[in-house]
Structure 1
Amino acid sequence: MTVDFAHTYTDPPQRFSAELSGGGAAQDLFQRVGTLLGELPEPGPVRTDTDGEREQLGDTTVVHRFVKAPGDSETVTWHYVEAGDPSAPTVVFLHGVPDSWWQWHYALELLSDRYHCVAVDLKGYGQSDKRTGDYRQRGVAGQLQALLDTIGIAEFALVTHDRGTPPGDHVVAMLGDRVTGYARGQQHLWHLHPSLHPQQQLFTSADAPTLLGDARRFVASAYTWLAARPVAASDLLRTIEEFSHPGIAAAVPRYFHSSSFRQEWIDRRAELIRSWTAPVLILQGAQDPMQPHEFYTDPDVVEMLPTGSDVHLFDTGHFWPFEAPHESVDVIRAFLDSVTR
């Protein structure tokens, strides 16, 4: 096929007009957030882990790791959680906003019987480094490569969600010969429209650190707005706790000041997508109010991806790792089994 690199926006389907126009929908969202906040207990104290500390997830023991790797200010301190036999095939997980490694705890628990699972707190989140520096998606991808090199991960599959996906796109382009498969989750790909990323304005506003600093309300708002199915209160509470670490409210907006949804979109169209060589599994929640499923099931999109690529739609909103945890793990496991060498 001939790929058209003219950067033309795609209009959202008509059903999105109410969601995008605000009005009654915005008032309903405000009321639902208030209801959720009234139902949620107060989160526990912010958990601070140490290198080598163990945590039990059901029958699975995971280990917290802290590693300094080359990057900003000479090094970046990364926090990640691993499970499974290090000699097994490795799968790396990158979370989105407002999440942390905890977004993947079901996968760590259920996939570590066969895979070496590594769930990273992205820079600026959780217990990873939050100092100033390079927060461009390409720059963070380079720092992630330095982390993988430092901890001895050569070949791996990558699983991403939401804002973990833009640096993931660069990682897969940069390290093509080391990536066995890319399960690319819940982020704009080929089609885009400015109305579908209103959070860019929020994260670049002067009020952003204040809004993100109220982790309980911010997490409740994000999940109320974008989830279509119930999420366990225990997952919401741990998400709030992990988003409450000092420095997150100032660090996360740096990603949005360093780039834009448009620039990421242009990078994908002009460079990144055609650089991917491993099979790509597009993972999307069919009911996400900001990401029309038609944008991802477009046959031309699948055709431009590497051989063996596919799309899976969950009957969920944005947060399918928590809205449909067991289906999510089953789909990821089947994909990993198909690409493991």
Structure 2
Amino acid sequence: MTQTHQYTELPERAAKAVENFLPREDKIDERARQFSHVKPRDADKEGDTEQLDGVTFTHHFVDVPGDHETVRFHYVETGPESGEAVVFLHGIPDSWFQWHHQMATLSRDQGYRCIAPDLKGYGQSEKKPGDYRHEGAAEQLYGMLKQIGLQQYNLVTHDRGTVQADYIAAHHPESVLRYGRGEQHLYHFNPVLAPQGDIFMDAPYTGIMSDPTRFVCFVYTWITKRPIPDDEFVRVIQEFSYPGITKAVPRYFNSSSFRAEWLDRRNRLLAMWKCPVLIMQGYDSRTQPREFYEKAREYIPNAPDVQVEYMPGGHFWTLESAEETTKAVQKLLKM
């Protein structure tokens, strides 16, 4: 029989942090006006390259078995093909670009092969209707990684990408060398912390995602602690502006719920992780209080090692605290 669980009461500090939880409309409008000049970027083609942090990043596209006949994934790669693989998965409203600082350092300085896909529905990946359950989408993503020749790899994830990685680590433990699990509910959960589930579910009807610039500004204004360089924020907006994203992404929120994810994690997935796990959380994350992760070792009983690393900043620490995030990933790769 499936076991149910009680919500965790919010710590006093976290309870204060959720007072006036969502950002004021005038603050969102002000931020959106600041970036109203941003234009969509042209779509990439197979083999296109760009330079970031002095490193060459190459764009690829691959069709894998999945919805209908196939699912097309876009991914970006840097580093030697012979290097140990590190796969980076992004969250909402992001893309592969979320990890470009970490990918550049690891590939250039340490010889890792770094690969970052756009999740299905995001960026330049598939946006047609199909299976948008995280478990189903994760299986398609696993198939993509296998098709491009990855047999074993390290997983480094953030937010919604973490939800899919939870399933990959559980169902394919032979493939996951280490798991750097970022910014997602684990063992504890309280629905007060996840109002976005209902908000994003109705996005096609309310229009909350119809203006990509305003939507990105809304999410980042809500849960960012440290400033992000304007040029990087422009790219975040552009990567969420490809046609079809605002209709595809809400399908995830109509296919599941934060509560369902949490129950599945507690009832099935946590006990199935067999690799070293580094829990990475924003020290000042408003949606995932750091107090919820203090006993993470107890929650993942079959992993050989479980550690917790708090990054300076709020939810988007990959860009808020890029150097500290890179050091955390380097720590993972030594576990």
Q: Fold conserved (TM > 0.5)?
A: yes
Partner of 2:54: 59
Instruction: Name the amino acid aligned to 2:14.
Output: F
Q: 2:125 aligns with which of 99, 123, 128?
A: 128
**Number of residues paired by the alignment?**
332
In 2: Cα distance, 1:308 partner to 1:266 partner: 23
Task: Give unpaired runs (5+ residues) of structure 2.
Answer: none
Q: 1:89 aligns with which of 79, 84, 88?
A: 84
Partner of 1:223: 220
Partner of 1:173: 170
Partner of 2:153: 156
Partner of 1:211: 208
What displacement does 1:41 show? 5.5
In 2: Cα distance, 1:311 partner to 1:230 partner: 24
Partner of 2:106: 111
Partner of 1:16: 14
TM-score normalized with structure 2 length: 0.94
In 2: Cα distance, 1:137 partner to 1:177 partner: 20
1:158/1:179 contact within 8 Å kept = yes
In 1: Cα distance, 2:185 partner to 2:318 partner: 17
- The CA RMSD measured in Å over matched residues stands at 1.8
Q: Which secondary structure state, in structure 1, belongs to the residue aligned with residue 324 of structure 2?
A: helix
1:208/1:249 contact within 8 Å kept = no
Q: Which secondary structure state, in structure 1, belongs to the residue aligned with residue 174 of structure 2?
A: helix
Partner of 2:255: 258
CA 1:193–1:104 in structure 2 vs 1: closer, same or farther (change >3 Å)? same
Q: 1:233 aligns with which of 230, 234, 237?
A: 230
Partner of 2:93: 98
Deviation digits for residues 65-92 of structure 1 (CA, Å, limit 9, x no counterpart): 0000111111100000000011110010
- Aligned pair 1:191/2:188, yes or no? yes
Partner of 1:71: 66
Deviation digits for residues 153-176 of structure 1 (CA, Å, limit 9, x no counterpart): 001000100011111100011110
Identity %: 43
1:184/1:283 contact within 8 Å kept = yes
In 2: Cα distance, 1:236 partner to 1:115 partner: 26
Task: Give unpaired runs (5+ residues) of structure 1.
Answer: none
TM-score normalized with structure 1 length: 0.93
Q: Which secondary structure state, in structure 1, belongs to the residue aligned with residue 208 of structure 2?
A: helix
In 1: Cα distance, 2:16 partner to 2:164 partner: 31
What displacement does 1:59 show? 1.6
Partner of 2:320: 323
Q: Which secondary structure state, in structure 2, belongs to the residue aligned with residue 51 of structure 1?
A: coil
What displacement does 1:29 show? 3.3
